[in-house]
Structure 1
Amino acid sequence: MLTRLDNGVLQALLDSAARESAELDFKSDFNADNADHRRGLIEDACAFANARGGWLLLGVAEEAGSVSGLPGLEVADPDALRLRLIQMVETGLEPRLSGLRIDCVPVADGRHVVGIRVPQSWSGPHRTVGQRRFMVRGDSTNSEYDILGLRQAFLARDHAAQVWEAFRNERISRYYANRLPLVVAAEPAALIHLYPLSAVGTAAGIDLATAARSPAFLPARGNGWGPRHHLEGIVHRGEEHDAASTHYVHIFRNGALESFLALDPHVGNPGLALSRLQATVETLLPRWLEGVSDLAVAGPFQFAVTLVGVQGMQPLRDEPPRYSTWGNAAREDTLPLPARYLDPSEIDAGAMELLLEELRVVLHHAFGRDGIRSRYF
């Protein structure tokens, strides 16, 4: 699938007489004021979202399904058109579809080819608001789901959630079995995960060489030694203590990410440095979202933090010299904090700040404090 749209990509499509496919559709003309054009656009977006996602290219002529020219569209204000198209699709489908990307590429005579990138959706299946049609993309055409297909679409959505939960549980089990990619410190820790739902049901993998060079995946703490390659992907080593890793970042072949962070600060008083965990997430999560975007790993994502090996432990205050404990001791070894569904298109600076504040409060809740009146970091 295309990861971007520019003049070079358009010329390559023309030179190769690229054909319409399960992930590519062409329309030579489009008028946002034409009801039939609007209805067709919404049905196309619905079909792509209910399948594997794809690009709808407006202003690209086709003959027998192959690109034959780049006539473009008259676009007076590209920004206004982007906003109108996004609103058209978001309000034209139920449930609402987010995550659209729209590129306006100038071609000859001041005209533009408009590319609409529709993501594969994990909140569907979607249907059109007006005619309530569940559309789906086939090899190169759209069709309406039959009853069996619609049932399978709902099951596929539930399957994605199950695959993510199985991944999270398997990584927790590996911690307790000492089968993580590095030898880690045998102490309380946090596992931080960002899991792309696009990894469900596909064998596609990321470019590991590019991922290994990206600064987005370096550890938040330590020098980032590595990367070390292994069967599941690559791992960057961060801080160590007594020859064991206390922090690493693991990049999986399917684009999933994991960070291990030991929580005992080794200040002479055993406990959990939750402020250290909060600061690590604040560093890693924005970088990770940028990094997976550069690798063309499609969202949405599940983001989660799990505290492991913490039974009987309490959090520590930051202040020396005593680093006294606060809150209630954990009654269980594993504390899986609630996972968050992240749509990258909706994560701006304000949304990131709210997400991190929510994490801080939930960490307080895990140890019996409200995080508002009783705030320790």
Structure 2
Amino acid sequence: MIPKPIDRISKEDIDALVENGVAESKTLEYKESLPGNSDEDKKEFLGDASSFANAAGGDIVYGMKGKRDGNGKSAGTPEKAGGLPGINPDQEILRLEKILSNGVAPRIPGVHFQAINGFPQGPVIVLRIPKSWNSPHMVIFKNRSRFYSRASNGKEQLDVDQIRAAFALSESVGEKIRRFRDERIARIVAGETPLPMAHPTKVVLHVFPIESADPSVRIDVKEHFDEIRNPRYRPIFSHGLSWRYNFDGVLTYYNNTDSDCHSYLQVFRNRVLETAGPLSADQKQFGFPEDKLIEYVKSYLQLLKAIGANPPFVILLTLIGVKGLTKSYEPAMHSYFEASPIDRDPLMLPDVLAEDFDVKVETVLRPLFDMVWQACGWERSMNYNGNGEWTGGR
């Protein structure tokens, strides 16, 4: 895989593959031309894409001519980056996306194409397929079903034992994410936050790249320090930020006083994000600003993009210190309604999935918002209309 976010790959990066003789591998493959529209071409394309998703992920570079040995067999190294002649890259990308969408089950999340211009015959197109944690993905085409994975010399069909192992691995990922969240919330409830937090009523948000369940995923936090401390990615409900390295990675925070942290954002070394901040509350009610939560989640997805994370992302929301309280909401038309207090603490909401960086966050978070309102006796969040569309309220 080319070691860059796909939208930052340049002509120079493609040229460097040729100049340095970078060989094909488990995570990199070269193709001189795009898949055609024949059934055989489509099957080959679907097999290639699903094999990367079922293994470690990787890039397919289209428009790259490979070297041949004396017998005419591929040597696995690039000869030149000539590009793809006579194509409309946008149309071709849409065509390939449609083939992928209809030909693999379950759908592979987080797939990206990038067209790169400046080559003699036309653009080079890079297809990036992330390692999938919803694997194994099966090719479903013309009444044929096949599972593929990736080896150093190309794709291979999985046997029964390998398929069974792939399903078991997929199930264990969810367990790892839930266990991480449980351990972190237990620490926060016990007061073991990165900095002391005096406010008893809190919201805790985790954004967990599914690839981060792999213990081998680690970043050099020094390389990403400037992105992490960018004011665009402030801790939740904050008006500024300070920053420092810590044992877990990088911490940004906003203090009320020298001894009281208002909110913080912890960026772990495996790219998992944790942010915690106060919810306004009195003896009966607490505030729950859904509009702000939506905006913060949007910013954190962009932070993950900036530090090289790949989608999809699991989003987990927890409310602490809300037992016996109800959500503040008192419009005149509902003055007759007596809300119910929340009956547990912490209130740990189920996870939801953001499949890409540009998802409609208000749609992704709606089930969680509904559950908070339902915990207080309401039918649903009143910040969405009857069709489930966000109305921009608080």
- Report the Cα offset of residue 19 of structure 1: 0.5
Counting matched residue pairs gives 365
Distance 1:301 1:133, change over 3 A: same
- 1:70 alignment partner in structure 2: 81
- 1:252 alignment partner in structure 2: 268
CA distance in 2 between counterparts of 1:171 and 1:318 reads 34
- Report the Cα offset of residue 9 of structure 1: 0.7
Matches within 5 A, 1:259-298: 259-265=275-281, 269-276=282-289, 278-298=290-310
CA distance in 1 between counterparts of 2:105 and 2:161 reads 20
Distance 1:250 1:374, change over 3 A: closer
Q: Secondary structure at the match of 2:315?
A: strand
- Report the Cα offset of residue 327 of structure 1: 2.2
Matched, 1:182 2:195: yes
Letter in 2 for 1:352: V
- 2:164 alignment partner in structure 1: 151
Matches within 5 A, 1:12-91: 12-63=16-67, 64-91=75-102
Q: Which runs of 5+ in 1 are unaligned?
A: 320-324
Matched, 1:312 2:324: yes
Letter in 2 for 1:198: E
Summarize deviations over 1:110-133 as a string: whole Å, max 9, x none.
Answer: 422221111212222011113311
Summarize deviations over 1:294-337 as a string: whole Å, max 9, x none.
Answer: 11101111101111222222333589xxxxx9622222111111
Distance 1:123 1:346, change over 3 A: farther
Summarize deviations over 1:98-151 as a string: whole Å, max 9, x none.
Answer: 322111222433422221111212222011113311100112311111222111
CA distance in 1 between counterparts of 2:381 and 2:316 reads 22
Q: Secondary structure at the match of 1:284?
A: helix
Q: 1:201 aligns with which of 200, 205, 214?
A: 214
CA distance in 2 between counterparts of 1:44 and 1:72 reads 20
Matched, 1:354 2:367: no
Q: 2:122 aligns with which of 107, 111, 116?
A: 111
Letter in 2 for 1:98: P
- 1:124 alignment partner in structure 2: 135
CA distance in 2 between counterparts of 1:339 and 1:287 reads 19
Summarize deviations over 1:262-314 as a string: whole Å, max 9, x none.
Answer: 2244xxx33443333x2431221000111111111011111011112222223
CA distance in 1 between counterparts of 2:383 and 2:58 reads 48
Identity within the alignment, %:
24
- 2:344 alignment partner in structure 1: 332
- Report the Cα offset of residue 364 of structure 1: 0.8
Matched, 1:10 2:19: no
- 1:341 alignment partner in structure 2: 353
Q: Secondary structure at the match of 1:129?
A: strand
Matched, 1:222 2:238: yes
8 Å contact from structure 2 (residues 280, 287) kept in 1: no
Distance 1:207 1:373, change over 3 A: closer
- Report the Cα offset of residue 373 of structure 1: 7.2
Letter in 2 for 1:283: E
Distance 1:75 1:326, change over 3 A: farther
Distance 1:191 1:374, change over 3 A: closer
Letter in 1 for 2:351: A
- Report which stretch shifted further, 91-100 or 290-299: 91-100
8 Å contact from structure 1 (residues 59, 70) kept in 2: yes
CA-based RMSD: 2.4
Letter in 2 for 1:100: V
TM-score normalised by the chain length of structure 2: 0.85
CA distance in 2 between counterparts of 1:47 and 1:110 reads 29
Distance 1:129 1:251, change over 3 A: same
CA distance in 1 between counterparts of 2:198 and 2:292 reads 17
8 Å contact from structure 1 (residues 220, 283) kept in 2: no
Summarize deviations over 1:239-267 as a string: whole Å, max 9, x none.
Answer: 536932232111111111111122244xx
Letter in 2 for 1:334: P
Distance 1:332 1:20, change over 3 A: same
Distance 1:361 1:239, change over 3 A: farther
Q: Secondary structure at the match of 1:13?
A: helix
Q: Which runs of 5+ in 2 are unaligned?
A: 68-74, 332-336, 385-392
- 2:72 alignment partner in structure 1: none
CA distance in 1 between counterparts of 2:193 and 2:119 reads 55
Distance 1:373 1:339, change over 3 A: closer
CA distance in 2 between counterparts of 1:177 and 1:318 reads 33
